[in-house]
Structure 1
Amino acid sequence: MLNLTLILPIIGALIIGILPNQKESNIHKNIALIFSSIAFLISLLIAIKFDYTNGSFQHQTYLEWLPFLGLNYTVGVDGLSLPLVILNGLIITLAIYNGETKENAVNKPKLYYILILLLTTCVNGALIAQNLLLFFLFYEIKLVPIYLLISIWGRDKRNYAATKYLLYTAFSGIFVLTAFLGLNFLTDGNTFDFDKNTTGVLPQAKQILLLLTVVIGFAIKIPIFPLHTWLPDAYTESSTPLSMMLGGIISKLGTYGLIRFGLQLFPDVWGDISPYLAFLAVISAIYGSLVAISQTDIKKMIAYASLAHINFVVLAVAASTSLSILGAICQMFAHGLIVALLFHLVGIIEEKTGTRELSKLHGLMNPYRGLPFVGGLMILAVMASAGIPGMVGFIGEFLSFQGSFTVFPVYTLICLIATGLTAVYFVILLNRVFFGRMENKTGYLPKVKLFEHLSGVILAIVIIFFGLQPSFLTNVSLNTSEAIAMLSNN
């Protein structure tokens, strides 16, 4: 079944490519939605059949591909990758649903949905690949659809943002590939299979050098300050569906890679760099929070808020205790849901009002002329982002900070300040945009139709469900996080 999460989106893309262009039909969107939904349902079936007592890889497939290069089709899923595969399926399905309506048509719909389906396969492939070169192929190929999705369907500065994203992420891939090739060369290995790489035989200095190369590569992707400058441009210039994907799941490839190919591959020397990584995570969290407070563009505010909160994951990974790693996995899942909801709501606000500027938006909670339901969902998303109990954000942050405190007590306390700053910039957003008197010249805003609310409602339900029942999430990853932590503590 795991292979179907890669194959089905490709089949859907091929079918869309064969079909003729039909300007007055949503057939391309419907086909993409069907195949992405099936792939998502398959990921849920994998979760149902998943052995929660087993912390190692499951549902594995091994096929020789190019053995003389060490490149094999080796895939599997564990408690680290499974929640992210499910998250990918959910967010991309909702992004496709939001993509095209008769009222808001997408130019070149055939190409648009082909690219999104290919992106689905690339992200899933990177998450389940157990061969280093196979991971790298998926990790790099995804640049093509993302670049085209930004440059064709983005905002006014889309070409600049797309090129900047491409260059930064290409450099990320160069660092990652260099580390993989260096590891293979220094260990005299003839394979890149994850479970056959023995970094422990290398001298400590060489391990640290390779680990630093891996960390720099994924630090660009996460991103970590000061390698973050691509983020506000890419997020704000992208269309709403792509912003949901970038913030919701694609950024998680960086934190996923940090755990899988940093901590798991180099456990013996992880402790040598972890204090510096934790320091950068704290700087990134505080910086992102302070810059978010100063923003006048709602979407850019959320972009910097995303930077702050994703670095809570980096701090938890740096601590590398079983509790902090479990928290990091939960926080990645929670962050993806919350950011996707926030970007979705900002997209509705921009579409109905024609602006994202705080200074031009007032009183949208007005029950007659405003967007009251959007305001209600925004309050829920803000509460989840602030880590209010009963929301999925609470369990991720609580476990991350509790697990990190034993290793980095000062850094953890500083990150708690960053969570407090979350309330500052989101209260500014809510107060200026939704409360107060709505200007008479604004008139009656266009009503948000039921189908436009559906994605936000689904994300809100999932956020509340996992907030009230976090065991459904923690049970999946508990044994895997303990197994990863044992590597670095031995």
Structure 2
Amino acid sequence: MMLSALILLPLIGAALIGFYPASMSGKLSRGIALTVAILTFLWTIFLVIQFNPTDIGQQFAESLPWIDVIGFNYSLGIDGLSLPLLVLNGLLTAIAIYSSDPSLQRPRFYYSLILLLNAGVSGAFLAQDLLLFFLFYEIELIPLYLLIAIWGGAKRGYAATKFLIYTAFSGILLLASFLGMVWLSGADNFGLQSLQLTALPLTTQLILLAGITIGFGIKMPLVPLHTWLPDAHVEASTPISVLLAGVLLKLGTYGLLRFGMNLLPEAWAYVAPWLATWAVISVLYGASCAIAQTDMKKMVAYSSVGHMGYVLLAAAASTPLSVLGAVMQMISHGLISAMLFLLVGVVYQKAGSRDLDVLHGLLNPERGLPVIGTLMVVGVMASAGIPGMVGFISEFIVFRGSFPIFPLQTLISMLGTGLTAVYFLILVNKAFFGRLSAQVLNLPRVYWSDRAPALILAITIVIFGVQPNWLIHWTEATITAMVKTQNLVVATSSELKIENAPSSDFNL
């Protein structure tokens, strides 16, 4: 039950806060939620300590029959692909609860939903059964919808409904693809290990991969499936934006690697050039849209669209180094985007605006937000890929691993790094430098409790940037084995097709 604990702990915490006792205060419910989140995060650290990085199989595996008639099992496991994402989920959930407004309305319902969201995401990363993954994938949908719809901004209803429709359509595509994968392959259950041993015709794989790619492409999101994301971020509260950008988007990238590249290797290799081109479009479009924004939060939201394109490029290249870079990019983006959203949230809370046409001079050491401005500069440098930060090493590995396979797409994608520096330089220059604007002369005091979450993330970003092997160490063996298996399947299939092809020789 070592892995089930990651699901049960937040579920028990959510039930405790939500149903008992009726007189529980907001302060107490926040304290219980934060305690549960910290315990869950510490449990992921314990799993990291117990994890064997040289073992490429699923560790701490749990499997129980659930619905035998359809081959549905409660099957959990953890490997180098899912381990860092679980730790990231635990860390950002604790930070989101800590950063929540202590005086918010309906606190018991709010904290229960965040813990339920944490359980759903952890279950999705742990699931080794396609139906079980889909179950957890859908479980996280309702809490996030309610968190935006109830505690969001002025247009929260529109943003939440748009998110719900897009994500529901994503789920429909994924369920249809998963069912087709099992039924057409003749497998007797939905387990990942069973499906890895089956082979499907290339045409069938392409149809199934189309559903999986579009389904997870909505979640990532990729252009033109991204339009729900800026609205959701702008209307969501700061802690929910932290979870949305830092964790929820990674369900899409994780799903592409786990279920697209891993289970449909021939189709993946066939469409890889098109996926790489799609990645380039997302990178450039996301960066271009970010440059045009005047809302700080919307600018950071569009930056996520571009940075998720790097993950798709690396996955399309399918080399051990590029896929390792994809995992690094997922972690680095989760840390950096969470930090940027936290800082934008503090600016909005203290200055009352996120408009770059209104905010100026916030780096003023006496009357501005000097520490927040300094942390913002650190976050911007990390996102722009400045050496010494985790953003640099993750993008470098992506480009280095992808260039031998897709040189043109990689070179064009590198422009996205330059454009990232452009739009974040605009943000920092307008909001933090120059004369302090008259509209924000009397700023409330910023306490260390406001700065602490972003400071923790900044330290983590620098640590992994200086010593990336502390992160790579846990993932490298799993990724290398996954890519080698995929390449072997593709090569074997090609050889069989050549051997079975009709001979063109003829006798005179």
- After TM superposition, the score normalised by the length of structure 1 is 0.98
Residue deviations 1:116-165, cap 9 Å, x none?
00000000000010000000000011111011000000001100000000
Deviation at 1:313, TM superposition (A): 0.6
In structure 2, the partner of 1:314 is: 312
Residue deviations 1:218-263, cap 9 Å, x none?
1111111111111110111100000000000100000000000000
Q: Which has the larger radius of gyration?
A: 2
Aligned residue type for 1:57 = Q
Q: Counterpart of 2:63 in 1: which secondary structure? A: strand
Aligned residue type for 1:296 = T
Cα contact 2:123–2:136 (8 A) shared by 1: yes
Cα contact 2:33–2:111 (8 A) shared by 1: yes
Q: Counterpart of 1:72 in 2: which secondary structure? A: strand
Counterpart CA distance in 2 for 1:359 and 1:486 is 51
Cα contact 2:358–2:439 (8 A) shared by 1: no
Residue deviations 1:315-344, cap 9 Å, x none?
000101000000000110000000000000
* Aligned counterpart for 2:361 among listed residues 335, 338, 363: 363
Structure 1 unaligned segments of length 5 or more: list them.
Answer: none
Counterpart CA distance in 2 for 1:221 and 1:283 is 17
In structure 2, the partner of 1:409 is: 407
Counterpart CA distance in 2 for 1:201 and 1:384 is 42
Counterpart CA distance in 2 for 1:441 and 1:411 is 45
Cα contact 1:187–1:199 (8 A) shared by 2: no
* Aligned counterpart for 2:254 among listed residues 244, 253, 256: 256
Residue deviations 1:259-304, cap 9 Å, x none?
0000000112211111111111100100000110000100000000
* Aligned counterpart for 1:470 among listed residues 452, 468, 471: 468
In structure 2, the partner of 1:16 is: 17
Moved more, 128-137 or 271-280: 271-280
1:276 matches 2:277: no
Aligned pairs for 1:256-405 within 5 A: 256-405=254-403
Counterpart CA distance in 2 for 1:244 and 1:277 is 28
Aligned residue type for 2:15 = L
In structure 2, the partner of 1:222 is: 220
In structure 2, the partner of 1:97 is: 98
Aligned residue type for 2:414 = L
- After TM superposition, the score normalised by the length of structure 2 is 0.94
1:88 matches 2:89: yes
Deviation at 1:199, TM superposition (A): 6.6
Aligned residue type for 1:421 = L
In structure 1, the partner of 2:499 is: none
In structure 1, the partner of 2:200 is: 202
Cα contact 1:161–1:234 (8 A) shared by 2: yes
Counterpart CA distance in 2 for 1:199 and 1:61 is 20
Cα contact 1:29–1:100 (8 A) shared by 2: no
In structure 2, the partner of 1:158 is: 156
Q: Counterpart of 1:126 in 2: which secondary structure? A: helix
Aligned residue type for 1:276 = W
In structure 2, the partner of 1:55 is: 56
Deviation at 1:211, TM superposition (A): 1.2
1:120 matches 2:118: yes
Coordinate RMSD, CA, aligned: 1.1
Counterpart CA distance in 2 for 1:252 and 1:97 is 22
Counterpart CA distance in 2 for 1:137 and 1:35 is 23
Counterpart CA distance in 2 for 1:347 and 1:332 is 22
Structure 2 unaligned segments of length 5 or more: list them.
Answer: 489-508
Aligned residue type for 1:267 = P
Aligned residue type for 1:33 = L
Counterpart CA distance in 1 for 2:473 and 2:26 is 43
Deviation at 1:440, TM superposition (A): 4.0
Q: Counterpart of 1:268 in 2: which secondary structure? A: helix
Cα contact 2:361–2:434 (8 A) shared by 1: yes
1:175 matches 2:173: yes
Q: Counterpart of 2:266 in 1: which secondary structure? A: coil
Deviation at 1:198, TM superposition (A): 4.5
Q: Alignment length, in residue pairs? A: 487
Distance change >3 Å, CA 417–CA 51, structure 1 → 2: same
Q: Counterpart of 2:64 in 1: which secondary structure? A: strand
Deviation at 1:18, TM superposition (A): 3.0
In structure 2, the partner of 1:39 is: 40
Deviation at 1:310, TM superposition (A): 1.2
Aligned residue type for 1:153 = W
Residue deviations 1:53-95, cap 9 Å, x none?
1122111101111111221110001010000000000001000
Counterpart CA distance in 1 for 2:104 and 2:22 is 13
Deviation at 1:387, TM superposition (A): 1.0
Counterpart CA distance in 2 for 1:189 and 1:485 is 23
Counterpart CA distance in 2 for 1:110 and 1:250 is 22
Aligned residue type for 2:412 = I
Runs of 4+ in 1 over 6 A off after TM superposition: none
